[in-house]
A = this chain, B = another copy of it.
Amino acid sequence: MNELELIQNLIPMLPTNSAVVTGAGDDCAVVDVGLPDKHLLLKTDAVVEGIHFTADAVGSAVGHKALGRCLSDVAAMGGVPLCAVVTIGLPSGFEFERVRSIYEGMANLARRYDVAIVGGETTASPERVFISVAVLGTVPKSACILRSGAQPGDAIFVSGTLGGSMAGKHLEFEPRLRQGQWLAARGTVHAMIDLSDGLATDLRHLLDASHVGAELLAEAIPVSEVAKKRARQTSDTKLAPLTAALTEGEDFELLFTVLPSDAVPLLDAWKAEFPELKLSCIGKITAEHGLRIRDRRGTRPLEEHGYIHFE
Residues of A near any B CB (own CB < 8 A): 1, 3, 6-7, 9-10, 13-17, 19-20, 23-26, 28-29, 31, 33-35, 38, 40, 42-46, 48, 50-52, 82-83, 85-87, 89-90, 92, 94, 96, 99-100, 103-104, 107, 110-111, 114-128, 130, 132, 134, 136, 138, 309-310
Give the distance in Å from the alpha carbon of A19 to the alpha carbon of B9 in the complex.
37
Is the CB–CB distance between B33 and A40 below 8 Å?
Answer: yes
Is the CB–CB distance between B116 and A16 below 8 Å?
Answer: yes
What is the minimal beta-carbon distance from A30 to any residue of chain B, in angstroms? 8
Quick one: given A23-B116, A136-B31, are A90 and B310 in contact (CB under 8 Å)? Answer: yes
Q: List 28 A-B contacts (CB under 8 A).
A: A6-B122, A13-B107, A14-B118, A15-B107, A15-B111, A16-B116, A16-B117, A19-B83, A20-B83, A23-B118, A24-B117, A24-B118, A29-B119, A31-B83, A31-B116, A31-B118, A33-B35, A33-B138, A34-B38, A42-B119, A43-B85, A44-B85, A44-B120, A46-B89, A48-B123, A52-B123, A122-B309, A123-B309
Give the distance in Å from the alpha carbon of A92 to the alpha carbon of B1 in the complex.
9
Please give, as numbers and ranges, the residues of chain B lying within 8 Å of A45 by CB-CB distance: 87, 121
What is the minimal beta-carbon distance from A13 to any residue of chain B, in angstroms? 5
Give the distance in Å from the alpha carbon of A293 to the alpha carbon of B84 in the complex.
39
Please give, as numbers and ranges, the residues of chain B lying within 8 Å of A123 by CB-CB distance: 46, 48, 51-52, 309
Contact of A40 among B3, B110, B130, B136 (CB under 8 A): B136
Is the CB–CB distance between A15 and B116 below 8 Å?
Answer: yes
Contact of A29 among B28, B52, B85 (CB under 8 A): B85
Contact of A83 among B17, B35, B83, B116 (CB under 8 A): B17
Contact of A48 among B19, B46, B86, B124 (CB under 8 A): B124
